[in-house]
Structure 1
Amino acid sequence: MQQWYQELFNSFVNKYENESFTQGTVGEVDFLESEINHDKSCKILDVGCGTGRHAIELTKRGYQVTGVDLSEKMLKRAREKATESGVGIDFIQADARNLPFQGEFDLVVMLCEGGFPLMETDEMNFQILESASRSLKKGGKLIFTTLNGLFPLFHSVKDFINSNSESQTNRENSFNLMTFRDEYQMEIEDDEGKVLNLNCNERYYVPSEITWLLKSLNFNPVDIYGCKLGEFSRNDPLTTEDYEMLVVAEYLINE
């Protein structure tokens, strides 16, 4: 049985690229470059790469990038876009919880909810972080965005989503203060014009949780910031107004 995110990403490929939250690629890649000091020898892994927007932009700038996603339909579009852009990228279908890499990359990125935190359990989400850590070289960096658990304590997630997406409507949101999970019904029109009704479940994290999880995997330091579309910055402190948080962590040990 497919999970809701599998059904979504297999049916919402072309329209995904027109969403407002996918329009900040250039600015986001500017930040990634600054974090690796524009070192073109760095090998980069893009987890949950989707249609390849970050991987393609990074490759255009001279980096060697591998893209991984669970959705073959997303990857098919990513390969088409890479060909159209004249760049060669290794796109691989794989589960983010079990990446086929061992100490190969200088930078691992998971942006725009690239797998984490969409899993059904906290343990499964943690497996994604474990898998990312195994993929890194000693001293490598993990940069990802995830849902900010401080946001739904002060705001309506349903109202935020409905005001920021032309194609998606959220209904019956139920944010659980014990689990920090938001369960909701999503109504969205797929690439063929068919209306999908999905029962969704996403995990929000507070900064202290992320810090603890990553330090348990030998990441240090762990820095967390606010996350502005297309404007990632270390000068942007996380607040209750940020729907997402930006996490930058350095991996100390590679066994």
Structure 2
Amino acid sequence: MRQWYQELFSNYAEKYEAEIFTQGTLGEVDFLESEINYDKNCKILDLGCGTGRHAIELVKRGYHVTGVDLSENMLSKARENARKAGVEIDFMKADARNLPFKNEFDMVIMICEGAFPLMETDEMNFQILECAARALNSRGKLIFTTLNGLFPVFHSVKDFINSNSDSQTNRENTFDLMTFRDQYQLDIEGDDGSKMTLDCNERYYVPSEITWLLKSLDFSNVDIYGSKLGEFSRNDPLSTEDYEMLVIAEYLEND
């Protein structure tokens, strides 16, 4: 049985690229570049790369990027986008919970809920963090955005999502304070015009959880900030107003 995210992304590449939350690519890549000190020798792994927007922009700027996604449909669109952009990228289909990489990359990114935290159990989400950590070299850096558990305690997730998308409707939301999971029905139209109703389940994390999970994977430095679309910054303290948080984890303290 396919999970809701597999069903969604099998028919959502074109409409995904038109969503509001995918429009901040240039500013986000500006930040990623600054985090690796503009070192063009850095090898980057983009987990949950989707249609390749971050990977393609990074390669256009001179970096070596490998893109991984579970959806062949999204990867097909990513390859098409790369051809149109005139760049060559190794896009591969793989499950982020079971990756072949070890000590290969200088930076791993998971942006806009790329892979993490969409899994149906906490153990599966942790497997993704394990694989990301294993893929990094001894001075590697992991940068990702994830759902901020402080947000739904103070706000309606349903109202936030419905006000920020023209193509999807959230309903029947049930946020569980014991598990920090939001279960809801998603009504959305696929690229082919068909209507989909999906039973979704997403995990929200509080900062202390993320810090503990990453420290358990031997990251020595974990910083968490608010995540602003297209404007990632170390100058934005995380607050209850941030739907997502920006997480930066490093194996070694900065010199």
TM-score normalized by the length of structure 2: 0.98
Q: Give the match for residue 129 of structure 2.
A: 129
Q: In the alignment, which residue of structure 2 is the partner of 1:74?
A: 74
Counterparts of 1:200 and 1:133 in 2: how far apart (Å)?
A: 27
Tell me if the contact between 1:44 and 1:105 (Cα under 8 Å) persists in the aligned partners.
yes
Letter in 2 for 1:107: M
* Structure 1 residues 166-189: Cα deviation after superposition (integer angstroms, max 9, x where no partner): 001000000000000000000000
Q: CA deviation at 1:137?
A: 0.2
1:27 equivalent in alignment to 2:27: yes
Aligned counterparts of 2:212 and 2:12: Cα–Cα separation in 1: 34
SS in 2 for 1:15: helix
Residue by residue, what CA displacement relative to the aligned partner does 1:47-81 show, whole Å, maximum 9, x if unpaired? 00000000000000000000000000100110011
SS at 1:234's partner residue? Answer: coil
CA distance in 2, matches of 1:192, 1:92: 24
Equivalents in 2 of 1:7, 1:115: separation in Å? 14
Q: Give how far 1:83 is off.
A: 0.6
> The residue matched to 1:92 in structure 2 has which SS?
strand
Give 2:172's aligned amino acid: E
Amino acid of the residue matched to residue 134 of structure 1?
R
Q: 2:111 maps to which residue?
A: 111
Alignment correspondent of 1:164:
164
In structure 2, distance between residues paired with 1:15 and 1:179: 31
Q: Is the 8 A contact 1:116 1:125 kept in 2?
A: yes
CA RMSD of aligned residues (A): 0.5
**Counterpart in the other structure of 1:175:** 175
> Residue 235 of structure 1 corresponds to which residue in structure 2?
235
Match of 1:56 in 2: 56
Distance 1:39 1:47 in 2: 20
Alignment length (residue pairs): 252
Query: 1:95-110 alignment to 2 at 5 Å?
Result: 95-110=95-110
CA contact (8 A) 1:133 1:251 kept: no
Unaligned runs of at least 5 residues, structure 2: none
Letter in 2 for 1:24: G
Q: Percent identity?
A: 78
Q: Which amino acid aligns with 1:81?
A: N
Distance between the aligned counterparts of 2:10 and 2:115, measured in 1? 14
Deviation per CA, 1:105-158: give whole Å up to 9, x if none. 000000000010000000000000000001000010000000000000000000
What does residue 184 of structure 1 align with? 184
SS state of the match for residue 96, structure 1? coil
Q: What is the distance in 1 between the residues matched to 2:9 and 2:77?
A: 12
- CA distance in structure 1 between the partners assigned to 2:100 and 2:80 by the alignment: 23
For 1:89 and 1:115, the matched residues in 2 are separated by 19
User: 1:177 corresponds to which letter in structure 2?
Assistant: L
**Is residue 14 from structure 1 mapped to residue 14 from structure 2 by the alignment?**
yes
- Name the SS of the counterpart of 1:31 in structure 2: helix
Q: Is the CA contact (8 Å cut-off) linking 1:70 and 1:96 kept in structure 2? A: yes
Q: In the alignment, what sits opposite 1:83?
A: 83
Quick check: 1:103–1:137 contact (8 Å CA) kept in 2? yes
Q: Secondary structure at the match of 1:185?
A: strand
Partners of 1:100 and 1:77 in 2: CA distance: 23
**C-alpha distance in 2 between matches for 1:130 and 1:240:** 28
TM-score, normalised on structure 1? 0.98
SS in 2 for 1:98: coil
Runs of 5+ consecutive residues of structure 1 not aligned to the other structure:
none
